[in-house]
Structure 1
Amino acid sequence: MQTDMLDSHRHFGFNDKEKNRIRYKRETVCSPLVTDGSPSFIQYVRGREARTLGWEDDVLIKYLYGKLNGGRGNQTLLYNTLSGNALTGYTTWSYYYPSQDAWRPVGELLVPDTDLSLILIAPNSIVHLERNIDPVFEATGILNASGSIGYTPNRWVSPIACIDQHQLCNPTNAKCTRLVGSHGILESAMDDDLDFNRVQKVTIQRLTLFLQSSTFYHTIFTRTQSFLRAQEKVSGITSQGLPSNQWEVEMAALFDDTLANMQYQMMEYAAGSPRSDAVSVVKSWTNSSDSDRDAAVWESMCDNQRTRDTQGTLNFSILGLSLLFGLGLYIILVSFILELLLAWAQKKLGRGLYRAKRWERNGTLQQMRLLYEIQGAGVWKGTTEDFPRTTSGDLFEHDEEFSQARSV
């Protein structure tokens, strides 16, 4: 998985001139790890060691992907297979390197100039309604319970290893660093051959502040098993059918979440913590080791952050609003001249003139005019129009006897 070149202005919101912008690219490669027939990494606990731990043989399984701080040997995880009968759902563990000696992976997992994440997924008592051949969520063991067929997982624990690499580019000269891990990207970017200016270098430093905490581990370690998309299809311990590439779906979702978290961290630099009383605010520009010009650039970052915030604002399309206003104005204008246009067309074509005149004469005002004319009240004009009226200066009155109701 990899991104296109992400622009510091457009994608991360660093609002600055074209010459002060940088480009960023991220590549992540993931792979399920083999667990069958690999005693170097998977070992069942037997004999004296099992008795010391208080268990029978083959109840506990050691996963040997690297030593934990204070741990024994290369043991990363000790899993109890009785969890498969405990009526529990997914359990996950995650580790990353370099991690200040919290976990030291075995040499087989180390790739130079990368950040390594290890994710272990245990399905425990999950029963699948459909057979699955996904390399991580594989379930082909048949379970017949009360006439219902289900499928049990093939592995107690499925490990996935992922490596991350980063690249920075100078858009003004199209020069780029090589793909490296987060701990080496800053040093690589400071190479004089790349010709980054002072503002670009400060932008790079700000970006790299968060790259070291942008691994899959940092995206999921507080979310436990809830990060799994497969968890969304589980009710109790029963799982709906999963596609045969479910592990790829999981990794792609983590990749997207990691990028979204990076964007959030960029905004947090300028926004600060919502609880200023609970944290100490670090101001990079007050560092005495920085030059005065670097300090000014660092401080300006707080005022030059672009963000999409819809709270209290309304987004609208100028084009759409213009079309709506123009169409409404057009309809209003047409309504004023439509009758005249139709009358002109009717006269021009000579069709329906008699019906039109009759329609006008049958109008309420014309009927009232006829009543007045019968009484000899007034001299009228506009006898074929919508609004009949008396000639100028002509006065008349309504006979009282016609205004009183008569009983029949």
Structure 2
Amino acid sequence: MADAFFSGSIDDPSSYKVHLGIWTNWSRGPVFGATLTVDRRQGSLLISFTAFFVTVVASRFWRIICLILHRKLSSAENRDALHHQRQAIFRNSSSSGSGLWSLMQISWAWPSGFSSSISTAIGNEVLIDGTNCGYIDIPSLDVLDVQRVLEPWQSKITNNAAGYAQQVYSPNRTGVFGNTVFVKKRLNTISNSEAPCPFKDNDQSILYRVVTHCAPLDTEGRSEPTEHLGISNYTGYKYGPSTFTENSNYTLIIRDTYSQNIAQTNGFAFSGYGLELTYSLTVDGTSTAGTFQPEPDLQRSDADIYMFFLSGNGVVTNAPLNDPWYRSNIQSKYNRSSFGSDGSSPIYNTETVYQPAEAASPLGCTLQIQVCKGTVANNNSCGPLASLNDGLFGALPFFDIDPEDFSKYDTMDKIIEAYSSNNEASRFLWFLQILQNYPAQIAGPAQQLGSQSLASYTSLTAQIQGPLPDDQWKLDVSNWWNITLALIQASFVDTANGPTDPNVAIIKTNATNSGQKSLCQNQKIVSTSYISVSLFGLYFTYITGSLIIIASFVLEPLLSYVQKRWKKREYENLEWMTNQTLQLQRLAYEESGQGEWSKCLDSIPVTASDQELSPLNLTDPEHPRLRHPQSPRFSKEIPFSFAFGEEHGDVFNGQGEGGLQEEEEYQDVQVSPLEFDQELTEEPRMEYGTGESHVDDSHGTFFTSNPGSPVRGDQFADDLDHSPADLATMVMDTGTRIATLPEASR
């Protein structure tokens, strides 16, 4: 598990100090990129409230839809029960879910009547606070500081980068670092594994950044036995004289393969592969610095030269490895020891193994960089593709920096101070310092980690190397490349975050001008410890939702007022009012003759305070009905006769318990709409009959107290809880005839 890169941890984003509040994520533009970052607790509350708000908005929006549909489908004509049930659902459903479910239920109950997500973008990109931003001032360090602080820190961050590269960049990645801080997990790269040797007349150019070109080198005619410090059994490699050893014609002197194998066989601690680095840096097109001076056929005026020498140090393989860098194809014998069943007597087994053919196999690489200003690469915006020094200096004029100032001032700090008023130049110089502090070239991982930077290291057990492909060297170079990409990512993130290690903090240089601070305060990372919310999404959600809520409360009374004021579509308004749950209940009780009701157009109708309403009539549990109140005005005994001349002397005892049950059910009848006076609409009632007095052929014509509202005999019987066949004549106490049978039954 990785530790800290600089001040934060790859797998622990919470260790980074994050800017809380409003900021702009420019990758999404100035409008959609407006972002609010809050901590996890506040973010959870915000998300919860937003979800609740959206639910309220949805219910109010459904209310508007129901209002529109109810009024659109409203009709003063007789319609079937399905129509009226649907209208009642539209009027009383509290949410789209309950309303749609009710509609589905009635569609199932009446099959003949039908034919067969926030714009709140939540993310985890946050802005580093940047108040502790600073880079390491290497020129100000003495030798002790380099050894005590700088080198351990560089080794630490390189190890972390190697772990990150293994988990993110490697083809065999496991995804352990799924919670990385980097906004872009992987940097795009172009890899050409079929490129020819870089030391021939070949030029490979890509749009900026770093071009690394590697190939194993032939050792024929360039290696020979030699002595070192008076000791033989050494091999010298000649690719150019070393600049570290006076009068040395060798690039590298190392123990020969025999000495390396003997050292391991004699019981020395297994050290694994050896990896030695030599390099030559090009300045102004000439190799002038480094650890060796390349021979003419290896020199490049447009690149830095790095050579990696791989030594076996006694590592063997069980099968020949024909990789041109490892070259483990010399057959040998290896004595493997193990303990017997008694655990005390060692058993020795001789196995055939293969050893490296070279004491140190060379791999040569060139390094080129190119810096462009802006996003378009052309001669007017880019420096040359060249060595690290020449590539950076060649880009200085594009950032309004005079290269001569580097010879005028003896330290980078003074140059940065000289350009402190130039934000563009100051940012670029800050960028150079960041790259200088991090081993973000291909040599960095090998220099800091040694053989542990090799991809083959993961399959090495003690002295035995596991199976490797014949192009293993390409995997090793790719691993170095991936580590450098991770280091580049870490360099800018950790510089913006600043160090928390007090030993490193004392050698930090803070950002001083606006250009440097803008670079520090505009660095994004990914953190699951915070929540970033799109302000555009929030504004859109809350503003639009608020308008919908307001409209849902205003639309209903507004339509009601307009329809009353101009007497238009008044039936729609009355049906909407009376389809409320309590008004529907009021209609049922009132039409059964119970209660003296008032507030018949309000949300809650009421009766007189001393009135009681009857419970359900459960004579038929499958068809519950409302009971009708007992009326003392009817005589206890009622004579009757059937229309077919049959007479019975049964006695009807008023309203008995449960009343009488009808023996017939009437289906497919049209349900009447509301009846109301155009001038007096205080109390809508259910309409019975056609409004004309007539005599039914099969039942008597019955009159209510309103002579203009005749009803059929069966309907009147329903009101009295009797069937039509039970009625002959009914006489009130006043003697007024209220029911007349057809002539045939008299």
- TM-score tier, shorter chain, comes to 0.5 to 0.7
2:278–2:292 CA contact under 8 A, matched in 1: no
Equivalent position to 2:238, from 64, 70, 84: 64
1:210–1:262 CA contact under 8 A, matched in 2: no
CA distance change for structure 1 residues 179 and 148 in 2, over 3 Å: closer, same or farther?
A: same
2:510 alignment counterpart: 283
CA distance change for structure 1 residues 174 and 102 in 2, over 3 Å: closer, same or farther?
A: closer
- The reply to whether residue 113 of structure 1 matches residue 302 of structure 2 is yes
Q: 1:174 offset after TM fit, Å?
A: 4.0
Q: Which runs of 5+ in 1 are unaligned?
A: 1-8, 16-22, 286-294, 318-377, 397-408
1:43 alignment counterpart: 224
Take 1:234 and 1:136, find their aligned partners in 2: how far apart are those partners? 16
1:321 alignment counterpart: none
2:399–2:428 CA contact under 8 A, matched in 1: no
Take 1:188 and 1:136, find their aligned partners in 2: how far apart are those partners? 35
2:279–2:307 CA contact under 8 A, matched in 1: yes
User: Relative contact order (alpha carbons < 8 A, sep ≥ 6): 1 or 2 greater?
Assistant: 2
Take 2:533 and 2:526, find their aligned partners in 1: how far apart are those partners? 14
1:104 alignment counterpart: 292
1:127 alignment counterpart: 316
Q: 1:143 offset after TM fit, Å?
A: 3.0
Q: 1:255 offset after TM fit, Å?
A: 0.9
Cα deviation code 1:113-153 (max 9, x no counterpart): 32222211111211112222110012222235546432222
Q: 1:308 offset after TM fit, Å?
A: 2.6
1:205 alignment counterpart: 429
Cα deviation code 1:270-295 (max 9, x no counterpart): 1122224542221353xxxxxxxxx3
2:435–2:491 CA contact under 8 A, matched in 1: no
Take 1:31 and 1:114, find their aligned partners in 2: how far apart are those partners? 15
**Segments of 4+ moved more than 6 angstroms:** 314-317, 388-396
- The reply to whether residue 303 of structure 1 matches residue 521 of structure 2 is yes
Q: 1:229 offset after TM fit, Å?
A: 1.0
Residue type of the alignment partner of 2:521: D
Take 1:70 and 1:395, find their aligned partners in 2: how far apart are those partners? 122
Cα deviation code 1:364-389 (max 9, x no counterpart): xxxxxxxxxxxxxx96267349xx89
CA distance change for structure 1 residues 123 and 381 in 2, over 3 Å: closer, same or farther?
A: farther
Q: 1:191 offset after TM fit, Å?
A: 3.1
1:361 alignment counterpart: none
- The reply to whether residue 95 of structure 1 matches residue 278 of structure 2 is yes
- The reply to whether residue 73 of structure 1 matches residue 300 of structure 2 is no
1:93–1:120 CA contact under 8 A, matched in 2: yes
1:247 alignment counterpart: 473
1:170–1:194 CA contact under 8 A, matched in 2: no
CA distance change for structure 1 residues 236 and 395 in 2, over 3 Å: closer, same or farther?
A: farther
Take 1:158 and 1:129, find their aligned partners in 2: how far apart are those partners? 19
CA distance change for structure 1 residues 188 and 284 in 2, over 3 Å: closer, same or farther?
A: farther
TM-score, L = length of structure 1: 0.62
2:461 alignment counterpart: 235
Take 1:382 and 1:315, find their aligned partners in 2: how far apart are those partners? 62
Q: Which runs of 5+ in 2 are unaligned?
A: 1-25, 28-125, 129-206, 265-269, 283-287, 335-348, 402-421, 535-615, 630-655, 659-746
2:371–2:392 CA contact under 8 A, matched in 1: no
- The reply to whether residue 139 of structure 1 matches residue 357 of structure 2 is no
1:85–1:124 CA contact under 8 A, matched in 2: no
Equivalent position to 1:168, from 357, 363, 371: 371
Q: SS at the partner of 1:104?
A: coil
Identity of aligned residues (%): 20
Q: SS at the partner of 1:142?
A: strand
- Aligned counterparts, 1:362-373, within 5 A: none
Q: 1:222 offset after TM fit, Å?
A: 2.0
1:383 alignment counterpart: 621
- The reply to whether residue 222 of structure 1 matches residue 448 of structure 2 is yes
CA distance change for structure 1 residues 269 and 84 in 2, over 3 Å: closer, same or farther?
A: same
Take 2:366 and 2:277, find their aligned partners in 1: how far apart are those partners? 13
Point out the structure with max Rg over C-alpha: 2
TM-score, L = length of structure 2: 0.36
Residue type of the alignment partner of 1:83: Q
